[in-house]
Structure 1
Amino acid sequence: MRRAAIQAFRISRRSSIRRTAGSKSTFNFLNHGLSLRPAASVRRYSSAPVSLHSSMYFRNFSLAFVTSLVAGGAYYAYTGDGPKQLLRTDAADSVSPPQTRALTTTSNAFAEATGKPQHPPLAAAATEPSRRAVVVDNDQFYTGSIVGDGPLSKDTDDFGRKVLEMMTPAQATERLRKNEESYLVERGKGVVRYDIVQLPSNNPIEDDHAEKIVQVPSTVAATDNGAPSSDWMFWGVFDGHSGWTTSAKLRQVLISFVARELNSTYKAALTNTVSPFPPASAIDAALKTAFVKLDDEICLESVNKLTKNPSKRLGAELLAPALSGSCALLSFYDTRSRTFRVACTGDSRAVLGRRNPQSGKWFATPLSEDQTGSNPNEAARLKSEHPNEPYVVHHGRVLGQLEPTRAFGDAFYKWSRETQDKIKRHFFGKTPHQFLQTPPYVTAEPVVTSTHIEPERGDFVVLATDGLWEMLSNEEVIGLVGQWIEKQNSAQSNSSSTAWLTSWFNPSKPHLPVEKGGNSGKSGLTEDNSAAPIRQQQWDIDHANEARFVVEDKNAATHLLRNALGGKDRDMVCALLTLPSPYSRRYRDDLTVEVIFFGEGEATGNVLINRDATAISSNGELKAKL
């Protein structure tokens, strides 16, 4: 969720002066030698206070990372505990002139600060093998190099900082691709491929996802002029919070709930003498009904069952999905009508990419609207439903705490005070919120949008949890997929598995092939294009610099993931992937991304694993999902 990013960003706006307690070291970092800090300032190691920046910056990650680990890792260079290793800056890692100044006084500075014997200067150790490393210091982290090939002897140094060997670019790529999946859809019904990837930040990951293709017989849904049966295709991403159990429940049963409601709706339409096809409003209502029924089962039926059979063991099983929560973004594609519906509960997002044949670029059209307390529409709805409750939306959050205004689970915002007291008394729970007056405040009912898909124009849709949209804008995401298609078309134009890519693009251009301004206004849904995503603000990334992106992956979802984490800036990618939970949560959320490609593909009736873009285990089988 966006909560950690916003809190870190707010903290960064407060000017402060920070010093290392008890340190007399004279280490002086270069002006832009600190990176990825949600802290309020650059920490300098000196004997006197210094003026500090009043906002958080991310300055040239690949250049800045290499200068700052000296103080954090000097412990390993000079203590007698374990192998002698020296943390140093490496001029070879830098290309900017200010960064080529190696800190050659490290040993003298450390001796002055600690009273330990002086050791040879950095130059003496420069010929030793070196590795990249990360130091995690509460709300900041630094990177640099470790000289020597011995293992780290401790997790933390004398200052309580966690020291980690940073992943190599090859290891980072392996991590990025660990959970990628790709499928070639050869059913001749408008969908040709979909790619998926997940990257955890929480441990265990709180995101989940589900996909399903249902062949619909004529006894359920009518077809045009005796055409063969149609397909219902579903893709869903579920962004859990306060635990993983709610999102796991959605993965297991949400599509089944929706399919049952659609089955009833389509069957009822068959008896209609005017039209054998259900109206759009009936299909939208079926999606909403399915969402609400499932949430009632999670939050209400679980309590009813426990009332009849009170058992803490049963309570743990039944109440877990109610006590945690999850956003849900489910898409439904009817191949007969070529209508793509998005049912959104929460702040995950779907965006359509459609090519402009005149310019050869893509339009970015949002298909969902983030449902949070910061959304004026959602805030107005809650205030109208709960009049005379000034704190129903407070600081952009429900009752001042929960960011999404629509979600599954989150029963503490849905149960009455009486029910919450009973749960706490007989099972487990927490004291009802002080502002709780007229629940429920949070609903699982989705907002449903519909879009007619044009496979001949190479339409594609990106579904992702909010962790991606914290890092990349709608236009950047659509432009990146367009860039990826260009690269695939250029590299594999003769491959049958990618023939559907042919002729969509002109030769590759230096900028992302996306129309600025997109189609945001035409969709009825808007994106604030004036503000960079929260993580780009946190890291001080130049929003206009499209040269920071790279194409290295055969899976389109992994391609988005890599560029969200830094793209060409390999130090940034490696460091963000090295950070362990819970530290990583300060800088990135769990990430789940799906990319659905439409087109006129083969019609063998099969759905095949695309092994070129799927993580395969050593025995040749598809790796298990997280």
Structure 2
Amino acid sequence: MLAFQLRNAIYNIRFTTSAAHRQQNFSLTSTRWISSFQLTPYDVNMILRENEFSHIFTDGENTLLGYESNQLASNKPVEDSRTEASFIHKNAFICGIFDGHAGSACSQVISKRLLRYIAAGLVDRKTLREEIAKGCTSQSFLKCHNDSEDFVKEIQKIYEESFSRYVNDIANTEMTPEEAMDKACLQLDSDMSDEALKHSDLRTIMAVAMSGAVACVAHIEGRDLSVVSTGDCAAVLGYQNDTGQWMSKKLSYEHNTDNVAEVKRILSEHPPQEADTVIRNDRLLSQLAPLRAFGDFRYKWSNEIMEKYVVSNYGENYMPPNYYTPPYLTAMPDIIQHQLTADDKFLVIASDGLWDFLSPNEVITLVGEHLSSKKFLDPLKLPDGDVTLGQISAILAKRKAGRQKKPLDQNSATHLIRHALGGTDYGIEHSKISYYLTLPQDVVRLYRDDITVTVIYFNSDYIKQLS
């Protein structure tokens, strides 16, 4: 009983720890009290690697070598989603990470639908019209690599009707890639709103409307890299400078109260007398942390619609406080475009569960070192031409030294998650990882969020040819 009371006391103390200070305030002593047992290294590996996925592009004429991804849940069910796909009509790749809140429904829906809306907008209009003439569906433009499930028939029919209207609407309108991506995000969000109001009797449709999700999507075609972001997921480019040092470059903006420009934007869209209520306690209307998101229509619909569809069915508690001049929320994305060079080696996209623990620089350094250490595991290849025994000896010695740094994980996304949970100034601490993985379901969300990571590797030789 005493141990139980002490454990609860420590829990209560640690409950006040914010996400930004989770790692900083980690205490190995309190961990031993909190966790009733420790996982074995084998158990930790099984948990961390359960959702690993990797894909290699075998065609050498490709901007990408491949990608690796992983996901570690905190919420049950997990509220993060991820999707990766290649275009059917051209040599291009698109992937995204989606972080849900107030449930997993919206995240799951946009992870399947958003990439398809974007893809339809990015194919040339002649191809689009030809596909429409053949009776295209939302799956006519992409081949997904890590998604074998789809919506139930009743819901799928509703979504396909919306998609059909969308492609017919844009079929004769020329758009820049940036315009097409922006249009896709806003149209999908609008379609989800219309679907919810039209089919408010369907619980699945309304669950999507009442929940929300943020998104970060990367599109790569040739040397052109575009990152589309709405919310607080993030994308970071890893490249090497002239001295071979790993460097990071942010390719997204977080739409939260840390972004001063975003706060000013929202305040400017509402009367001055709402300045103290639009954002309060670092949240939109004191409730929502991301300042842009898909879904979450109870921050977008008019007061009349809220009364008719939300308050009448879900109660007054679903009406946000100080709801005077909606909409307060938008799915409008920020789009950052980048021309790839041979120095650009990889792109990391992750939900905020990773960035709570690791900075962009730390993430890029970890992936870069992981990439370098894996090279020593490849079959030995001698340089072309005559090679002396001394040169071979030096190559073998370097290879032997490199093997001592052999990573625990082949998958770089898993490598990042392991370091996020267990990293210390002295390396990986097993007891720290075990602590985070054995927290009870009813409190784990107070210590870590869902973590979803995708690492995309670029083909430097091919990019050099395009330059």
Q: TM-score range by the shorter chain?
A: 0.7 to 0.9
List per-residue Cα deviations over 1:300-330 (Å, max 9, x = no partner).
3320344xxxx3xx2x122111100000111
Distance 1:298 1:415 in 2: 12
Distance 1:206 1:375 in 2: 24
Aligned to 1:95: none
Corresponding pairs, count = 386
Distance 1:170 1:259 in 2: 41
Aligned to 1:288: 182
Deviation of 1:599 after TM superposition, in Å, equals: 1.1
Deviation of 1:168 after TM superposition, in Å, equals: 1.3
Deviation of 1:393 after TM superposition, in Å, equals: 1.6
Deviation of 1:582 after TM superposition, in Å, equals: 2.5
Paired residues of 2:354 and 2:417 also in contact (CA < 8 A): yes
The answer to whether 1:471 aligns with 2:357 is yes
Aligned to 1:46: none
1:254 to 114, 118, 124: 114
Higher helix share: 2
The answer to whether 1:237 aligns with 2:122 is no
Q: Secondary structure at the match of 1:459?
A: strand
Equivalent AA in structure 1 for residue 302 of structure 2: S
Distance 1:507 1:404 in 2: 47
The answer to whether 1:209 aligns with 2:82 is yes
The answer to whether 1:565 aligns with 2:421 is yes
Distance 2:453 2:74 in 1: 14
Aligned to 2:44: 172
The answer to whether 1:371 aligns with 2:258 is no
Equivalent AA in structure 2 for residue 343 of structure 1: V
Aligned to 1:521: none
Paired residues of 1:189 and 1:600 also in contact (CA < 8 A): no
2:336 to 449, 452, 469: 449
Deviation of 1:425 after TM superposition, in Å, equals: 5.6
Equivalent AA in structure 2 for residue 247 of structure 1: S
Deviation of 1:288 after TM superposition, in Å, equals: 0.6
Distance 1:208 1:431 in 2: 25
Structure with more contact order per residue of length (Cα contacts < 8 Å, sep ≥ 6)? 2
Aligned to 1:592: 452
Deviation of 1:266 after TM superposition, in Å, equals: 8.2
Q: Secondary structure at the match of 2:183?
A: helix
Aligned to 1:546: none
Paired residues of 2:257 and 2:282 also in contact (CA < 8 A): yes
Q: Secondary structure at the match of 2:237?
A: strand
Distance 2:71 2:292 in 1: 23
Aligned to 1:355: 240
Distance 1:449 1:58 in 2: 32
List per-residue Cα deviations over 1:509-561 (Å, max 9, x = no partner).
x9xxxxxxxxxxxxxxxxxxxxxxxxxxxxxxxxxxxxxx9931000100000
The answer to whether 1:384 aligns with 2:268 is yes
Aligned to 2:213: 326
Distance 2:311 2:26 in 1: 54
Paired residues of 2:373 and 2:406 also in contact (CA < 8 A): no
Cα 1:40–1:241 change in 2 (3 A) is closer
1:553 to 409, 428, 431: 409
Paired residues of 1:210 and 1:236 also in contact (CA < 8 A): yes
List per-residue Cα deviations over 1:222-279 (Å, max 9, x = no partner).
xxxxxxxx412101000000000001101221111111122256879xxxxxxxxxxx
Aligned to 2:192: 298
Q: Secondary structure at the match of 2:407?
A: coil
Cα 1:598–1:59 change in 2 (3 A) is same
List per-residue Cα deviations over 1:117-143 (Å, max 9, x = no partner).
xxxxxxxxxxxxxxxxxxxxxxxxx24
The answer to whether 1:406 aligns with 2:292 is yes
Distance 1:254 1:481 in 2: 28
Aligned to 2:58: 186
Aligned to 2:280: 394
Deviation of 1:486 after TM superposition, in Å, equals: 1.5
Distance 1:288 1:232 in 2: 18
Cα 1:476–1:431 change in 2 (3 A) is closer
Identity %: 32
Equivalent AA in structure 1 for residue 309 of structure 2: I
Paired residues of 1:323 and 1:412 also in contact (CA < 8 A): yes
Cα 1:432–1:169 change in 2 (3 A) is same
Paired residues of 2:39 and 2:434 also in contact (CA < 8 A): yes
Equivalent AA in structure 1 for residue 422 of structure 2: G
Q: Secondary structure at the match of 1:321?
A: helix
Equivalent AA in structure 2 for residue 303 of structure 1: L
Distance 2:338 2:416 in 1: 23
Q: Give the TM-score taking structure 2 as reference length.
A: 0.76
Deviation of 1:37 after TM superposition, in Å, equals: 5.9
Equivalent AA in structure 1 for residue 84 of structure 2: E
Paired residues of 2:354 and 2:420 also in contact (CA < 8 A): yes
Say which one has the larger Rg.
1
Cα root mean square deviation, aligned: 3.3
Distance 1:320 1:569 in 2: 40
Distance 1:371 1:281 in 2: 26
Paired residues of 1:37 and 1:58 also in contact (CA < 8 A): no
Distance 1:293 1:440 in 2: 16
Distance 2:82 2:240 in 1: 27
Equivalent AA in structure 1 for residue 443 of structure 2: Y
Cα 1:186–1:600 change in 2 (3 A) is farther
Cα 1:318–1:212 change in 2 (3 A) is same
Deviation of 1:283 after TM superposition, in Å, equals: 1.1
Paired residues of 1:39 and 1:56 also in contact (CA < 8 A): no
Cα 1:266–1:207 change in 2 (3 A) is farther
List per-residue Cα deviations over 1:546-603 (Å, max 9, x = no partner).
xxx993100010000000001310000111111132311111100100000001579x
Deviation of 1:40 after TM superposition, in Å, equals: 6.4
Distance 1:172 1:434 in 2: 43
Q: Secondary structure at the match of 1:491?
A: coil
List per-residue Cα deviations over 1:94-131 (Å, max 9, x = no partner).
xxxxxxxxxxxxxxxxxxxxxxxxxxxxxxxxxxxxxx
The answer to whether 1:341 aligns with 2:226 is yes
1:419-430 paired onto structure 2 within 5 Å: 419-424=305-310, 427-428=313-314, 430=317
Deviation of 1:60 after TM superposition, in Å, equals: 7.6
Distance 1:40 1:592 in 2: 25
Deviation of 1:434 after TM superposition, in Å, equals: 2.5
Structure 1 unpaired stretches of 5+: 1-19, 42-54, 70-141, 144-163, 217-229, 269-279, 496-505, 511-548, 603-626
Q: Give the TM-score taking structure 1 as reference length.
A: 0.57
Distance 2:12 2:42 in 1: 22
1:490 to 358, 376, 399: 376
List per-residue Cα deviations over 1:167-201 (Å, max 9, x = no partner).
21110111000000011012321100100000000
Distance 1:57 1:467 in 2: 12
Aligned to 1:106: none
Aligned to 1:195: 68
